[in-house]
């Protein structure tokens, strides 16, 4: 038992192991995706570990989080791709960040900011190969690429990369759409060459591409969820089957344990009623901490090496489990690594009708992250 009622243990050795899995899959450069505060693991922590393990590139979705990370972590390259009209582009340019451009208005605003700063901005041209979520359509490239070339010739843009994103990469057994996207990406590469533009990096693959589509690796890959020891799609393969180790283990210390008779209703609405004399215990985290309420009466935690089921609904700050022999102060593990015999974030996601990404990203700030090993 510690002085903290709950905590998320973040394992450096597991992170380094998962990075090794990436390197075993590809010889391409690696951009570690650490958006959303490192998928809830702590972006600065993960950035430092990645840098010390030889990863030069870091990816954070929102430009604002990229600026924040750049100020906290001065090493390597930081790449961001989400922002809105009227964004302050001067600051990320001054910080030497890499910025994606996939819209006409962004060309204008970012070029204006680069002129104001008086230094070229490092640009990655985004093309839409099938996500319908961002980037230039292929049929517009003959129109927009000359603008990029003119700005590069002027010394306003440094054209670093061409990139896109897979829509169905995590469905290798049920969809061949990745092949369609690869063909479109090849068309985009040819259009860039035909426009007289040379870029340093082509990148298309995220974790699913790293795992299942080697033809998408190109010059750089962008692993995200797999670095944290979770599967891009557990329906295809669970993390432990892919050789991954969970980086986050969420645990809490019981604050109360008590025996109740048969017929006892548990928490709001009495959605669970005991059918026999039962030992109940209270876990001091709830949906305000990111414990998904739809896991009520479904998920289990690990108590003294055994699975202990949630009884009743998950409340804002606490939930109740059935745990024979439990005592106040005992530690329970909500989820962690399957190899250690714990429930996993993947399993919580299945129970809650969600995905493992959401389970770890939603763990709230009241649960402190603690680096281990």
Number of C-beta neighbours around residue 65 at 10 A: 18
The average confidence (pLDDT) of the chain is 97
pLDDT of 323 strictly over 70 = yes
- Do 268 and 289 sit in the same domain of this protein? yes
Specify if 328 maps to a domain.
yes
Q: Judge whether residue 313 has pLDDT over 70.
A: yes
pLDDT digits over 205-259, tens only?
999 999 999 999 999 999 999 999 999 999 999 999 999 999 999 999 999 999 9
pLDDT exceeds cutoff 70 at 1: no
Whole-number pLDDT of residue 99: 99
Specify whether 365 is located in the same domain as 228. no
Residues 116 and 39 in one domain: yes
Q: Which residue has the tokens 């899959």?
A: 25
Q: Give yes or no for residue 125 having a pLDDT over 60.
A: yes
Q: Is residue 291 part of a domain?
A: yes
Which of 181, 214, 235 lies at the terminal end of a domain, its last residue?
A: 235
Residues 176 and 282 in one domain: no
Same-domain pairing of 229 and 319: no
Is 243 a member of any domain? no
Among residues 25, 35, 39, 126, which one is catalytic?
Answer: 35
pLDDT digits (tens, 9 = 90+) for 34-62: 999 999 999 999 999 999 999 999 999 99
Q: pLDDT tens digits for 74-87? A: 999 999 999 999 99
Q: What is the pLDDT of residue 2?
A: 52
CATH (domain of 294):
2.40.37.10
d(C-alpha 20, C-alpha 217), whole Å = 16
263, 199: one domain: no
Residue where a domain stops, chosen among 235, 262, 292: 235
- What's the whole-number mean pLDDT along residues 119-146? 98
Number of folded domains that form the chain: 2
Residue 367 counted as domain residue:
yes
> Per-residue pLDDT for 357 more than 90?
yes
Q: Has residue 115 got a pLDDT over 80? A: yes
Per-residue confidence (pLDDT) for residue 4, from 0 to 100: 81
Q: Between the CA of residue 205 and those of 96, 137, 196, 220, what are the distances in Å?
A: 24, 19, 25, 8
* Alpha-carbon gap, residue 57 to 320, rounded angstroms: 43
Let me know whether 64 and 37 are in one domain: yes
Q: Is residue 218 domain-resident?
A: yes
pLDDT of 170 above 70: yes
Q: Residue holding tokens 């989820």?
A: 335
Beta strands in 12-126 (DSSP E): 29-33, 57-59, 77-80, 98-101, 121-126
> Domain boundary residue among 188, 203, 235?
235
**Dist. CA 361–CA 3, nearest whole Å:** 24
Domain shared by 99 and 140, yes or no: yes
Which helix or strand (DSSP H or E) is residue 24 part of?
helix 12-25
What tens digit of pLDDT does each residue of 22-34 get? 999 999 999 999 9
Q: Residue 268 catalytic?
A: yes
Note down the domain range covering 120: 12-235
What is the percentage of the chain residues whose pLDDT exceeds 90? Answer: 98
Q: Which among 25, 149, 228, 268 is annotated as catalytic?
A: 268
């Amino acid at each position: 038992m510690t002085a903290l009622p709950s905590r998320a243990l973040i394992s450096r050795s597991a992170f380094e192991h998962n990075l090794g899995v990436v390197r075993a899959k590809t010889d391409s450069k690696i951009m570690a995706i650490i958006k959303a505060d490192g998928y809830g693991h702590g972006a600065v922590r993960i950035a430092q570990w990645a840098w010390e393990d030889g990863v030069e590139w870091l990816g954070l979705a929102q430009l604002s989080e990229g600026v924040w990370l750049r100020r906290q972590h001065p090493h390597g390259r930081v790449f961001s791709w989400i922002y809105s009209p009227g964004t302050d582009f001067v600051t990320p340019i001054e910080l030497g960040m890499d910025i994606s451009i996939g819209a006409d208005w962004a060309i204008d605003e970012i070029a204006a900011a680069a002129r104001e700063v008086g230094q070229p901005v490092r640009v990655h041209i985004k093309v839409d190969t099938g996500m319908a979520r961002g980037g230039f359509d292929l049929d517009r490239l003959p129109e927009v690429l000359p603008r990029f070339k003119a700005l590069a010739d002027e010394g306003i843009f440094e054209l670093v990369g061409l990139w896109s994103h897979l829509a169905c990469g995590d469905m290798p057994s049920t969809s061949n759409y990745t092949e369609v996207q690869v063909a479109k990406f090849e068309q985009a590469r040819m259009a860039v060459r035909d426009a007289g533009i040379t870029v340093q990096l082509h990148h298309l693959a995220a974790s699913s591409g790293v795992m299942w589509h080697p033809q998408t690796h190109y010059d750089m890959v962008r692993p995200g969820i797999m670095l944290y020891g979770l599967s891009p799609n557990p329906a295809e393969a669970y993390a432990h089957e892919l050789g991954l180790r969970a980086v986050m283990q969420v645990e809490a210390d019981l604050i109360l344990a008590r025996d109740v008779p048969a017929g006892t209703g548990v928490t709001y609405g009495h959605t669970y009623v005991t059918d026999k004399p039962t030992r109940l215990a209270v876990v001091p985290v709830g949906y305000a901490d990111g414990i998904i309420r739809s896991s009520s009466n479904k998920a289990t935690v690990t108590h003294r090496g055994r699975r202990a089921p949630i009884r009743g609904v998950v409340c804002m700050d606490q939930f109740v489990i059935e745990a024979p022999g439990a005592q106040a102060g005992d530690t329970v593990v909500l989820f962690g690594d399957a190899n250690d015999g714990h429930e996993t974030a993947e399993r919580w996601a299945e129970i809650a009708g969600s995905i493992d990404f959401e389970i770890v990203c939603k763990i709230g700030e009241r649960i402190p992250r603690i680096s281990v090993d």
